[in-house]
């Protein structure tokens, strides 16, 4: 078989390990041939491919990013759609597609599979917000990077007797904030799933300060304080009508400083969390998912994605995989909150 691979949506550490896992298993066990679509669905819609011989994947499990490039292109726009893609696949002799991507990618893959195309998926989300998989690769690396950054913020905060607010990724869910915040010993963790009042946050900061600590607040970018309605990350303009710069941490810092009297600084970690070398855990998970995606193709399991369930890899229908976001359960937040203040 000739299999096309694409990586789509925001990148994250581990994408190359998925590609390598699929290609090595596909060639060694089944004698498959592999090609890569360039820049996600853009390459699929444009029929833009490169060959992926075994030599191309040599040593790439440890490389961040994706050797195929990525984009947020919608395959149904810009002259795309199932007929165009089917024509390209026939012309190029491609029998099946492995689509590596997040919610948007898998939703598009579902629509294309419903139209008869042979596609299987590999879940990718640094935010870890897909319910159907216990963990997604890239998440462990992001948590590691965020934890190290927060540890560094702590030492400078302590020297200056300041409060620090670290903003981490997480548009809709707070998994990175929860894990990095717990690991780094944050005095408050703020996530989109939990409405917390500014009074409560002020109280946590003051309590930590009273005990002689430099208060550390970890906030997910999608957090909305009780007195706000729209997530800061979705606001186009700031309060002065200027294009929004910075994030929720920038907004909280002056507010907390005014309420606590403690000098407060904000740091937004941003795309640093998605860059660079994947952790060993992410490399292993990504490699296993890539290998399992080849099993999906061999088994003709179109319209399914591979997922981690406990320690095993299983195949889950796109429908089920997309049913809901994996939010931080109340129990997990309450558990972490015991340590706040």
> Of these, 68, 122, 126, 205, which contacts ligand F6P (CB under 6 A)?
126
Four-CA torsion 194, 197, 202, 205, nearest 10 degrees: -10
Q: By CB under 6 A, what part of segment 196-225 binds ligand F6P?
A: 221
Consult the annotation and say whether 176 binds a ligand: no
Q: How far is the CB of 122 from ligand F6P (least distance, A)?
A: 15
Residue 227: C-alpha distances to residues 169, 196, 212, 329, 340 (Å): 21, 9, 29, 22, 21
Catalytic residue, candidates 127, 129, 282, 295: 127
Tell me if 10 contacts ligand F6P by CB under 6 A: yes
Site string (274-313) toward ligand F6P, x via CB under 6 A: x---------------------------------------
Four-CA torsion 175, 181, 187, 193, nearest 10 degrees: -10
What Rg do the C-alpha atoms of the chain give, in angstroms? 22
243 DSSP 8-state letter: B
Q: How far is the CB of 222 from ligand F6P (least distance, A)?
A: 7
- Calpha distance 150→156 (Å, rounded): 10
In the complex with ligand F6P, which residue's Cβ is closer, 87 or 234? 234
- Calpha distance 252→249 (Å, rounded): 5
Consult the annotation and say whether 43 binds a ligand: no
Tell me if 171 contacts ligand F6P by CB under 6 A: yes
> Of these, 33, 39, 127, 282, which contacts ligand F6P (CB under 6 A)?
127
Q: Which three-class secondary structure state does DSSP give residue 69?
A: coil
- Calpha distance 140→126 (Å, rounded): 8
> Catalytic residue numbers?
127
Give binding residues as ranges.
10, 72-73, 102-105, 125-127, 162, 169-171, 221, 265, 271-274
**Residues binding ligand F6P (CB under 6 A):** 10, 126-127, 169-171, 221, 274
Give binding residues for ATP as ranges.
10, 72-73, 102-105
């Amino acid at each position: 078989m000739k299999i096309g691979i694409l990586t789509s949506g925001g990148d994250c550490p581990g994408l190359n390990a998925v590609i390598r896992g699929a290609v090595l298993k596909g060639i060694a066990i089944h004698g498959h041939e592999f090609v890569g679509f360039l820049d996600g669905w853009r390459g699929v819609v444009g029929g833009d491919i490169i060959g992926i011989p075994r030599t191309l994947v040599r040593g790439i499990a440890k490389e961040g990013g994706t050797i195929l490039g990525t984009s947020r292109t919608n395959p149904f726009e810009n002259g795309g759609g199932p007929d165009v893609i089917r024509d390209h696949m026939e012309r190029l002799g491609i029998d099946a597609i492995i689509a590596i991507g997040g919610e948007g990618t898998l939703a598009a893959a579902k629509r294309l599979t419903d139209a008869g195309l042979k596609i299987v998926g590999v879940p990718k989300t640094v935010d870890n917000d897909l319910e159907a998989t216990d963990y997604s690769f890239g998440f462990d690396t992001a948590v590691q990077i965020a934890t190290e950054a927060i540890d560094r913020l702590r030492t400078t905060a302590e020297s200056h007797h300041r409060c620090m607010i670290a903003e981490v990724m997480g548009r809709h869910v707070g998994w990175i904030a929860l894990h990095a915040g717990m690991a780094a010993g944050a005095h408050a963790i703020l996530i989109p799933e939990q409405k917390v009042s500014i009074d409560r946050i002020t109280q946590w900061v003051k309590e930590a300060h009273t005990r002689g600590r430099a208060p550390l607040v970890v906030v997910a970018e999608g957090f909305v304080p009780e007195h706000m309605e729209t997530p800061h990350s979705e606001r186009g303009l700031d309060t002065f009508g200027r294009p929004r710069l910075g994030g929720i941490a920038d907004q909280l810092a002056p507010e907390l400083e005014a309420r606590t009297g403690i000098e407060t600084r904000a740091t937004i970690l941003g795309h640093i969390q998605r860059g660079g070398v994947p952790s060993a855990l992410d490399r292993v998970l990504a490699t296993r998912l890539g290998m399992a995606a080849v099993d999906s193709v061999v088994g003709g399991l179109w319209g399914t994605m591979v997922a981690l369930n406990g320690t095993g890899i299983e195949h889950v229908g796109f429908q089920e995989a997309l049913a809901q976001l994996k939010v931080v359960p109340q129990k997990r937040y309450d558990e972490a909150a015991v340590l706040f203040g």
